[in-house]
Amino acid sequence: AQSVTQLDSQVPVFEEAPVELRCNYSSSVSVYLFWYVQYPNQGLQLLLKYLSGSTLVKGINGFEAEFNKSQTSFHLRKPSVHISDTAEYFCASIQGAQKLVFGQGTRLTINP
């Protein structure tokens, strides 16, 4: 079975600093990967996805992620964060016919 591991449960950063949220996956088949964001008291919203093609994927709100097959990673990055980026971020991969397997989540806290 596939699994997704988010290496940090919490990441505190200062406003305007860069951030990287780490995600590793395990899979022996074709990989489809996603990052979702959950703002306080809301459902999940898709940030970006990797299905095929370029390994550098750009998403909404200035986020990007890089698919690295050799390291089985899909880390999320943003060069300069804003207070409004405070949220919980989930990495996920497709398992079987369109079921998502989620990581444990990373809580991003932005300090002024």
Partner 1 sequence: DVKVTQSSRYLVKRTGEKVFLECVQDMDHENMFWYRQDPGLGLRLIYFSYDVKMKEKGDIPEGYSVSREKKERFSLILESASTNQTSMYLCASSSGVGTSGTYEQYFGPGTRLTVT
Interface residue list for partner 1 (CB under 8 A): 6, 9, 32, 34, 36, 41-46, 49, 51, 90, 94, 97-100, 102-105
Report the distance separating Cα 74 and Cα 71, nearest Å. Answer: 9
Report the distance separating Cα 101 and Cα 64, nearest Å. Answer: 20
Q: Measured from the CB atom, is 25 or 90 closer to partner 1?
A: 90
Instruction: Provide the β-strand partners of residue 88.
Output: 38, 107
Residues 6+ apart with CB under 8 A from 55: 66, 67, 68, 69
**Least spacing, CB of residue 84 vs partner 1, in Å:** 18
* CB neighbours of residue 81 within 10 Å: 23
**Least spacing, CB of residue 8 vs partner 1, in Å:** 12
**Least spacing, CB of residue 97 vs partner 1, in Å:** 5
Q: Measured from the CB atom, is 13 or 44 closer to partner 1?
A: 44
Q: Measured from the CB atom, is 15 or 61 closer to partner 1?
A: 61
